[in-house]
Structure 1
Amino acid sequence: MKILTVCGMGSGSSLILKMNVDSLLSSMGVDADVEVCDLGSAKGTDADLIISTTGLQSQLEDVNVDKIFITNVINKEELSTELTKYLNK
């Protein structure tokens, strides 16, 4: 599974998301390739899942990939809940 964590520039909140996703997936025993990506590059990259903030939701609507949007990049509980829902569907 390939997961992109996306923010506007690809180096701030997306990096925090990547570290949190890596940690959560490891504790769940899920193997995935998690990459940091900027908004522009996300639109042309193959991935199974994009994780980003609600602030970028409208700009990622046209990307035909499953998406998770969260409100707070440092809130692991919110991320864990949404990631678990996605993995269990």
Structure 2
Amino acid sequence: MYKFLAVCGFGVGSSLVLKMSIEKAAKERGVECEVENMDLSSAKGTNADAVFTSQELGDELKTATKSPVYPIQRYMDKEEVGQALDDFLG
């Protein structure tokens, strides 16, 4: 089972929307995962298989975590989130 993070500045609101999109995209692909939404500073200290976040926070997270970081522009766009998930799954 994979562990994914949905990250936004404060860990509420947009990261919750992103979390739901990741869960939907994963379910469509038959991928078992646990998705946590959290704020930027918490994400820096959390181990995960992959991190999904905004373009703005992506660069900061790439230097602060060992996990692959996938910037998402439209959190509600299941296609864009699904593409990032496909990239992760390789």
TM-score by length of 2: 0.91
Contact persistence 2:24–2:78 (CA under 8 A): no
Identity %: 39
Please state if 1:67 is matched with 2:69.
yes
Give the CA deviation at 1:10: 0.4
Q: Which amino acid aligns with 1:65?
A: S
* Aligned counterpart, 1:16: 17
* Aligned counterpart, 2:57: 56
TM-score by length of 1: 0.92
What is the RMSD of the two structures over their aligned residues, measured on CA atoms?
1.0
Q: How does 1:66-85 map onto structure 2 within 5 Å?
A: 66-85=68-87
Give the CA deviation at 1:83: 1.0
Q: How many residues align?
A: 88
Moved over 4 A (4+): none
Give the CA deviation at 1:42: 0.3
